[in-house]
Structure 1
Amino acid sequence: MTRLSVVVVHGSFSDIYQQEFQGLLAQVKAQINHPVLGAYLECSDVSLAGAIAQFLQSQSCPPDQVQILPLFLLPGVHVREDIPEAIAQLRAQFPQVTFNLLDYLGKDGRLAPFLAPQFSPNSAAQRILIAHGSRRTGANPEIEKLAQALDAHTAYWATEPSLVQTLERCQRESINTFSCVPYFLFSGKIPGAIAQQITTLTEADPHLSIHLGQPFGTNPQCVQAIAQILNT
């Protein structure tokens, strides 16, 4: 039995996002004993189903098993609807191939070990985990559970509580020192905007101190974990 692993990300027009994703792919491929294809769900001229179909059609001996790993941190609409719809199209187009959808990367807080070292070692700093957030039912509770395991408050970019709201709530308790970690795999527009927002906030309030971690997708431990999932 031959296998193809497909690593799916949201996608971005950001050059640094694309560079970091390609870097992750290269590191994962070095640890995998079968072909690995990287694919974007959005921000690409080729759809997810189209990218996988093109690969299968280009092979003289196509794999008979395809496993798809969503590199997503929340169970939002992409994980619950868009990716399964793409797989349904592929199953109809390639009935001889078995397509398996793996759990999304962020499920069950399994990324906590990669996030914990990102926080400042300053024990006086209040931890905040900053995620994109989702208005989909059942999505944000996953973040809350992860934040609890990390002994951190939560803040969201696309929903509430926002970073400003979380900071203000803590400051009412006389907390002014924070360690914030972005729950993002790659750098790009939103992590960059978060960094700029933190710079603006600290410049406006001399009593406010915020340490900001970095996206963790290219962390060697994260790469190894992805490789282990695909090799299972």
Structure 2
Amino acid sequence: MSSAYLLVSHGSRDPRPDVAMQQLAKLISEKLPRGKNLVGIATLELNTQPLHQQIQDFAQTALTFGCQFLKIIPLFLLPGVHVMSDIPAEVEIAQKALVGSIKLDLKPYLGSHGKIEKLLTKIMATIKAERVILLAHGSGRSGSQKPIETIAENLGVMAAYWFVSPSLEVRVKELLVAGSRQITILPYFLFPGGITDAIAESVEKLQLQFPEVKLQLASPLGVSAELADVIWDLATEGEQIVG
């Protein structure tokens, strides 16, 4: 039984995340038996079509290749409203429209995979600073910050959020009071984009505000073979791939 795979991201007006998604899809396609499976990309927002229609369109293409399953992988790092409510609702709409033709399988969100923490550990090994702040987007959904707090504790770093409190500025002030003079901010985001640009501007302003501390901004996770491996693990969990 063959499967197709659809990578779902948030969507952005900035072209860089879309380019990164296409690069990831290519890396994952290289893992598949040639001519037997498909990898596509879709976005929850900022698309001319709603996600359920994007799923249906890709499913129809997958059917022409003889695929019986469509694995949908949410490339989100936090269990916010999009992951817990919006995407499942869109998948349900698509499945009703596709009943009897192809089975949709919504996989766990990317940030739930333990290997994401290993990727962060690898990045941490290249950072030379007294303290590190793991800066995530954050979510208004209750309990959605807990995975970040757990990762931060395991890595021995401090968590901060762009969208909710505690903010980056608050954390920098706390570390400054504690005597830290070298602080690196590690953005817990997949790709460069509008938000990471805004973070960079914020770090520059904080550096001017606190000249006594040296602030460094690391890069987001970015496209890599390691990230593609994590996505592949999520996509194929419990599935036997036959070459």
- Which TM-score tier does this pair reach, normalised by the shorter chain? over 0.9
Q: Does 1:12 align with 2:15?
A: no
In the TM superposition, residue 98 of structure 1 has moved relative to its aligned partner by: 1.6
Which amino acid counterpart does residue 192 of structure 2 have in structure 1? S
Is it true that 1:57 corresponds to 2:47 in the alignment?
no
- Paired with 1:56 and 1:198, the residues of 2 have a C-alpha distance of 43
- Where do residues 218-229 of structure 1 align in structure 2 (5 Å cutoff)? 218-229=223-234
Match of 2:211 in 1: 206
User: Is residue 182 of structure 2 the alignment partner of residue 177 of structure 1?
Assistant: yes
Distance 1:199 1:40, change over 3 A: same
CA offsets, 1:33-73, max 9 Å, x none? 32111110111101211112112334435522111111111
Alpha-carbon distance in 1 for matches of 2:157, 2:203 = 17
Instruction: Write out per-residue CA displacement over residues 194-225 of structure 1, whole angstroms, 9 at most, x where no aligned residue.
Output: 11111122133321112211111302211122
Partner of 2:43: 40
> Structure 1 residue aligned with 2:116, among 103, 111, 118?
111
Alignment correspondent of 1:217: 222
Structure 2, unmatched stretches of 5+, are: 238-243
Q: Is the 8 A contact 1:109 1:146 kept in 2?
A: no
Q: In the alignment, which of 71, 75, 80 is matched to residue 79 of structure 2?
A: 75
Q: Output the amino acid matched with 1:90.
A: A
Aligned pair 1:168/2:173, yes or no? Answer: yes
Where does structure 1 lack aligned partners over 5 or more consecutive residues? none
* Mean CA deviation greater in 95-104 or 132-141: 95-104
AA partner of residue 95 (structure 1): V
Please state how far the C-alpha of 1:161 moved relative to its aligned partner: 0.5
2:113–2:230 contact (8 Å) kept in structure 1: no
Amino acid at match of 1:169: E
Tell me how many residue pairs correspond in the alignment: 231
Deviation at 1:109, TM superposition (A): 4.4
Contact 1:109 1:145 in 2 (8 A): no
Larger deviation: 33-42 or 52-61?
52-61
- How do residues 94-109 of structure 1 correspond to structure 2 at under 5 angstroms? 94-96=98-100, 97-107=102-112, 109=114
Q: How does 1:112-151 map to 2 (within 5 A)?
A: 112-119=117-124, 120-122=126-128, 124-151=129-156
Are the structure 2 counterparts of residues 138 and 204 from structure 1 closer, same or farther at C-alpha, using a change threshold of 3 Å? closer
Aligned partners of 1:213, 1:168: CA distance in 2, in Å? 19
Q: 1:179 to 1:111 in 2, by over 3 A?
A: same
Deviations 1:141-180 (A, max 9, x none): 1110011111110110000000000010111111121121
Q: For 1:13 and 1:195, how far apart are their aligned partners in 2?
A: 18
TM-score normalised to structure 1 length: 0.93
SS in 2 for 1:185: coil
Alpha-carbon distance, 1:107 to partner: 1.0
2:132 maps to amino acid: R
Kindly, what percent of the aligned residue pairs are identical?
30
Q: Distance in 2 between matches of 1:184 and 1:135?
A: 17
| 107-116 vs 57-66, which moves further | 57-66
d(CA) in 2 for partners of 1:170 and 1:55?
Answer: 48
Matched residue, 1:85 = 89
Q: Which segment drifts farther, 181-190 or 219-228?
A: 219-228
Superposed CA RMSD = 1.6
Asked if structure 2 preserves the Cα contact closer than 8 Å seen for 1:108 and 1:142, the reply is no
Amino acid at match of 1:39: A
